Amino acid sequence: MGNLNSELFAAIDSVASGADEHALAASVQELMGKYRSRVDPEDLVLASDTDVAAYAAYRLPATFTAARSAFETAAASIPDLAPATHLDVGGGMGAAVWAASDAWPSLRSTTVLEQSAPAIALGRRIARRSTAPAVSGSEWRRFRLTGAVPDGPRVDLATMSYVLNELTPRVQEEVVRSLARRAGTVVLIEPGTPEGYARVIAARRQLAEEGLTVAAPCPHGEACPIAPGEDWCHFSERLNRSGVQRRLKFGTLGFEDEKFSFVAATSAPVARPANRVLRHPHKRKGLVSLNLCTTPPGVEERVVSKRQGETYRAARKAEWGDAWPPPEGTGR
């Protein structure tokens, strides 16, 4: 299999370079305005070919990067998971389709449910450029969610990336519960905002009530120890911006940081880390301060000093989102 990351980014660049950049820039501004607030569930945000090309150019690299990070963390906590079948709901142009195949090369077949016809057309076109069988052979179905996902064969993996925000609270709950009944493992990703985290934490409880075990990012399956309204659990991934992305977003920086919240829950055995790093570690001379979600459930600031030798060297390498202590054999 080729490098899915570079295959996807090359496909996105060719979409953007084949489109009218002024029209794309106008659509990007409109989409950014809509996504900044809560999306009206009655609104079809990705309505035209220009909208979907604009989304592919300015958002898809970031949602792909966040989804891949969430899937890699989930994969580390569910070591026996080797999914063959995948259902992606609200697939857009396929960010989670590409990301899942990157994290789980065992995938052989993917079905995408999506309400927007232009999104499906572009998602299919981009997917054909992939060397991963579950991406290039992905099946795209036009479907508007108004409650539970439609009945169908059980799947090994179900994903929903940046979609809950566009559904009413009732539909969010019905979709999440139906995915828990339909799939062995469910991974949900939302923007890393207090509201995105609130949707994730509600979904986490519903997945557990349906009998799945919380696998990631949490080090335990009990209630989240973060005090509501005081903080929110989220992670961050840095990605490089292409020239066209910089022009479309009127950004001058060559990179952006995508913040996201997520939950993975499964019926497979889990191997959760003891703790997870919840912030960029604070590294000073001879000291590293780690903000940790812990087992038993809690949030604590742990200071590691140079006197702690091996542990200190590992703490210097620790990053936001990492398991702590690092799993053996990772060199961290």
Ligand X SMILES: C[S@@+](CC[C@H](N)C(=O)[O-])C[C@H]1O[C@@H](n2cnc3c(N)ncnc32)[C@H](O)[C@@H]1O
Contacting positions for ligand X (CB under 6 A) = 46, 60, 63, 90-92, 95-96, 114-116, 119, 143-145, 161-163, 166-167
Rounded to a whole number of angstroms, the minimum distance from the CB of residue 55 to ligand X is 7
Of 156 and 166, nearer to ligand X (C-beta) is 166
Rounded to a whole number of angstroms, the minimum distance from the CB of residue 254 to ligand X is 22
Q: Which residues pair with 292 in a beta bridge?
A: 277, 300
Of 95 and 132, nearer to ligand X (C-beta) is 95
Of 150 and 251, nearer to ligand X (C-beta) is 150
Q: Which residues contact 180 (CB under 8 A, 6 or more apart)?
A: 186, 206, 207, 210, 211, 212, 265
- Are 221 and 208 in contact by the 8 Å Cβ rule? The answer is yes
CA angle 135, 140, 102 (to 5 degrees): 20
Rounded to a whole number of angstroms, the minimum distance from the CB of residue 189 to ligand X is 7
Rounded to a whole number of angstroms, the minimum distance from the CB of residue 96 to ligand X is 5
- Are 100 and 110 in contact by the 8 Å Cβ rule? The answer is yes
Of 144 and 238, nearer to ligand X (C-beta) is 144
Of 2 and 147, nearer to ligand X (C-beta) is 147
Rounded to a whole number of angstroms, the minimum distance from the CB of residue 113 to ligand X is 6
Rounded to a whole number of angstroms, the minimum distance from the CB of residue 70 to ligand X is 11
Distance of alpha carbon 210 from alpha carbon 279, whole angstroms:
30
CA dihedral 27, 126, 110, 214 (to 10 degrees): -50
End-to-end CA distance of the chain, in Å?
Answer: 28
Q: Which residues contact 68 (CB under 8 A, 6 or more apart)?
A: 5, 98, 99, 102, 103
Q: Which residue is nearest to ligand X (CB)?
A: 92
Of 95 and 224, nearer to ligand X (C-beta) is 95
Of 144 and 307, nearer to ligand X (C-beta) is 144
Rounded to a whole number of angstroms, the minimum distance from the CB of residue 56 to ligand X is 9
Rounded to a whole number of angstroms, the minimum distance from the CB of residue 178 to ligand X is 13
Of 96 and 135, nearer to ligand X (C-beta) is 96
Rounded to a whole number of angstroms, the minimum distance from the CB of residue 139 to ligand X is 15
- Are 113 and 149 in contact by the 8 Å Cβ rule? The answer is yes
Of 117 and 299, nearer to ligand X (C-beta) is 117
